[in-house]
Each structure stands twice: as C-alpha cells, then as structure tokens.
Structure 1
C-alpha cells in the first residue's frame, strides 16, 4: 500500500508545473503604432468654446468691440442684402393682338385688311428683336425654332396630363406653372395631340431688359392651329369636360420666353394669349349634391293667434 502511494506521488513530481499569470495592465494612452502619431493629433482641433452665460448688455461699447475683434466678427450693416434670381419675367410685354376671325374669317374682309396693315407696321420691332436674339445665339433660325416650339408645347401638356410636376417645370416658366396647375387637383386628364392643321409660325417677337441693361429676356409668340382630344374626369371617374372620341380644332397663340443673358437658358412656355373675339369656353359639367328641402312652417290656428278673454 505504501509503495503504491509513493509511486503515485513520484509521478506527480515529474509532471510539468504550469504557471498561470494575469496580463499586466497599465494606464498608458500611447498607441501601439507610433508611426502616425502626428496624423492622429491633427484629427482633433481644439478651439475655445463661447461663454453662453456672458452678459452682453452690461458690456461697454469698447469691450464689445474688443470681443468682436477677438472672434473675427464684423460689425452689423445698417442695410440687409437679399440675393434673388430672375429666371422669368412677370408677364408678356407688348402682347400680340390676334387678328379678328383668325382661322375662320376671310382675308379679303375689311377688318382683316386693316389688321394686316397694322401688323406690317409692327413687323419692324419683331425684326429688331430677332436681331437681338441672334446676337446672343448666332445659330438661331425662326424656321428651325418652330419644330422645337411644337415639341415643347406637346411635352408640357403631356407632363400636365401625367401629373409630372418636375418635368413640367422644365417646359414652362415660373409664371406659367401655377396657371397650368390651376384647378387640376383630384382630376384625371386624358390629352392627345393628333396633328397640325396649319404649320406653326412665329407671329410676334419682343425683348426687354430687367433690372439692368445686360439682363435681357426675349419672347416669341407662336401661332398653333392643331387638332386635339381632351377629356377631364373628376375624382369619381365621371366625365366633366371634353370627350375621348371627338377631336376639336384648337387655335392658340403661345408665348415662349428665354433668358438670353443666361448661358444655360432654354425656351419655355410663358403664357397663352386669348383674343377678345374668341368665343367663350364650354363650362364644365360639374355634379353637385342636391340639398335637402327646407321644412315648411306649420300653419298656426286662429285660436292661437287671438288672445284668450278672461271670464268675468
């Protein structure tokens, strides 16, 4: 028994002794890679924080000036400058007056002959405006502009029908945007451009300067005689205007505007001229809820009207 115990203890003495030590910890903040010490220091920028509890009302004028100099703050100006950007004019300058009965009346009539003479007198201003446009755009040609104008006209109305507000701003000015969007909420618009009855033509051209002589805007009035289809539905899907089957002949005078002084300016729809002699447009077929009839007042009896006589 004793020999067995001694043999066991002898085997334990020969076994290797494992020493388990805990890792030493220190309070050092040095990075283990000192190579980029300078770059790590540049990542942090120390600056003095302002004293938010400082009483500026009790400071003297000189003390306030000294504080402003220390912080690099300029003294306030007596005026306020508000920068603004003019991308479109507010209206149509010298609007075109369409001849009475255009598209229907005969050219031989006395009224049309008089208006033709007046148009020839105003043609010189349009030629001067064309020269002004060509001074900013050397490659400008009125004949090449007409396909572009018709393309802008069609795309603007397609964006309106598809409710593409971001695309509509590309083809109309800031003045025409709210007029295009007016009364189109909660409505479904189906619009189609079929064809042109007459080729479009430029009938009027003008230019003007805004604020300064170098800030110039140009406007071109284009006559469109087209065939279109228009159908407007309300939010319940009921037809309130137009038809998707019938096509109508539409005669319009559309004003296109461009900021000539802007290198990246584009031609956009600015307004539509509606002549005084044009027939009134058809009103929309609006459907309303019929109000309930008011209750009739009950007839009062004669006994109730006559005062009661007291018995004697």
Structure 2
C-alpha cells in the first residue's frame, strides 16, 4: 500500500509541473472518466421519474387526497357534465299538413266543386308564397319549376333503392323520420316498381317553414303533387304475387312532403312523408296465399254385426 501511495504522489506532482498534453492519464476506476469536469454531465444523463403507485385504488382515497393528486399533476377536477350534444337533422313530423281537396284528379275545374277547390287553393297561397320567400333567404336560386324536377328525381330514386333494398344509400333521399315507414314490411319480399309517365306535371301545392329551438335553426317543407302512371308488383318469399301486377299500370295521385334543413349549409331536400287525406277509402290488405293442406279421409269403421233375433215363445207352447 505504501508503494502505491508513493507512486500516486509522484504522478500528481508530475501533473502539476508538466504541460497539459504530457499529463499521463490516471484512472482510479474503469467506470469513471478521469476528468472530473464530466461529473455534472454524467449526473444530467439520469432523470429521476416519480412512478405512480399502481396498487393504489381511487376508491381507497379520500376526496382531499384525490384533489391533492390532481393538483400535483396539474389536472383540473372533473365537473358534472349534464348536457348531451345532439344533432337535429329532421323534424319529427309534418307541420301544417296540406289538406287535399276531395275528388282531386277526378273533378274538372269547370265543375262547381272543382271551381270551389281552386278558390280555396288561392286563399291558402299567400302563406305558401311567404314560406317560399323565406326559403329563398337561404337558397337564392330556389325555383318551384326546377325544384319539381329535382323532387321527381328524388321520388324515383327512393323507390328504386327501396325495390333494391339498399338501406345504406336510401338515407340520402328520405329523412330519419320517414326511414322506418319506408322499410316497414319489406323483408322477405320482392318488389318491382317502375314509373311509366306523368299524367300531370308535378307542382308545389304547399310550403311551410318553422324554427326548432332557436330562431336561426330553420326547416322548410314543401308538398309536391304527383299524378303519375306506375307499375307495382309485390311478391312474397315463395314467388307468389301478393299485390299489383307487372302488366297492368295504374294511375297514382300522391302528395309527397319534402324537407330540408335550411340553416345547414350541406342540407338537401329529402322525403319526409306522404299525406293521406281522411276522405280516402282504406286500402284492401294484400292477398296472402297459403299452401292448402291435403284433406285426410277418416278411416272406415268396421261393419257392426247385427244382434241375433230373439224368438218369441208363446205361453201356450210351454208344457
């Protein structure tokens, strides 16, 4: 030990007297650098991390302890959030529905009742014009003639998608309110539908606007009158005809309500529902066919043996 200390003393004396380039390297340990100026840098290489206690449960902590831990990590305490965000893309029904005149499509305007219907239509036209004016506040290029062509395309596309049972794309043409009514009772059925021609050009007969929750959230509804000739045939899952025919075309008069979220920049016109007047007679249900079971004949009963005839014995013959 004394020899080693002497050698260390001699080397340190040489370090003080020799120039820096000639100073011999002295290493006390192989894990440390010989130059002490790197000590602080080695200390900065290591970061002390406070690991959380993973065995600690929030249920076991008091309210004050939870608040202290949140404050330690710089997290604001949670607040009770009662409000729920929701998006209203369509209204829940038809506001101020149009009342179709009785006998529409059959009574001529020359007839007395037809002239009365025309007069009532002109009386209600003022509210419709005010609603159309409000629609033009959101759509500057809104025109009833051009809209009728767009409505006819939406009407045809909706029926084609319904016949194909394309439920993913049909929501682009019907609202969320009308969607359940469109897909009702369509499962396990084959539908053939075709629009043949227009008997009368479609026209806007009714228009209304309303606001939901706020004054700026405006919805618009327009009722379009369709008088067309269509072909409809509905088959069940066994291929039996339930309703309509693919050969016979029928005249159809319908009042379809279209709705648009006017306040939404990306809103578009979609089918909201169909107006069915009270004076319309109820439709007959579709014919449902069943397999007629084979008649089973009851088995023949065995022939009954007649009882033996009893012979009457007179009292006189007795001995």
Distance 1:182 1:88 in 2: 19
Aligned-pair distance for 1:292?
Answer: 9.8
TM-score normalised to structure 1 length = 0.74
Q: Give the alignment's TM-score, normalised by structure 2.
A: 0.73
Residue 141 (1) aligns with residue 143 (2): yes
What does 1:195-206 align with in structure 2 at a 5 Å threshold? Answer: 195-206=197-208
Alignment root-mean-square deviation, CA: 2.3
* 2:247 is the alignment partner of 1:270: no
What residue is the counterpart of 1:209 in the other structure? 211
Matches of 1:136 and 1:290, distance apart in 2: 61
Out of 162, 186, 189, the residue aligned to residue 188 of structure 2 is: 186
Q: Distance in 1 between matches of 2:184 and 2:150?
A: 25
Q: Any idea what SS the aligned residue of 1:165 has?
A: coil
Q: 1:65 to 1:243 in 2, by over 3 A?
A: same
Instruction: Quote the Cα distance in structure 1 between the aligned partners of 2:278 and 2:218.
Output: 30
Pairwise CA distance, 1:111: 4.2
Q: How many residues align?
A: 249
Among 237, 240, 263, the residue aligned to 1:238: 240
How many angstroms apart in 2 are the aligned matches of 1:140 and 1:53? 66
Larger Rg: 2
Residues 1:58 and 1:167: Cα distance change in structure 2 (over 3 Å): closer
Change in Cα spacing, 1:96 to 1:48, as seen in structure 2 (3 Å) is farther
Q: 1:241 to 1:68 in 2, by over 3 A?
A: same
Q: CA deviation at 1:291?
A: 8.1
Structure 1: which 5+ runs fail to align? Answer: 1-45, 297-312
Match of 1:105 among 88, 104, 107: 107
Preserved CA contact (<8 Å) 2:209 2:219: yes
Show the counterpart of 1:252: 254
CA contact (8 A) 1:100 1:112 kept: no
User: SS state of the match for residue 84, structure 2?
Assistant: coil
Q: CA deviation at 1:261?
A: 0.6
Secondary structure of residue in 2 paired with 1:66: helix
Contact 2:107–2:113 (Cα < 8 Å) also in 1: no
Q: 2:220 aligns with which of 218, 221, 243?
A: 218
CA distance in 2 between partners of 1:272 and 1:54 (Å): 61
- Please say if residues 158 and 173 of structure 2, whose CA atoms lie closer than 8 Å, have aligned partners that are also in contact: yes
Deviation sequence 1:7-56 (CA, Å, 0-9, x none): xxxxxxxxxxxxxxxxxxxxxxxxxxxxxxxxxxxxxxx98765442143
Cα distance in 2 for residues equivalent to 1:279 and 1:56:
67
Secondary structure, aligned partner of 2:208: strand
Paired with 2:50 and 2:294, the residues of 1 have a C-alpha distance of 74
SS at match of 1:212: coil
Match of 2:72 among 46, 59, 70: 70
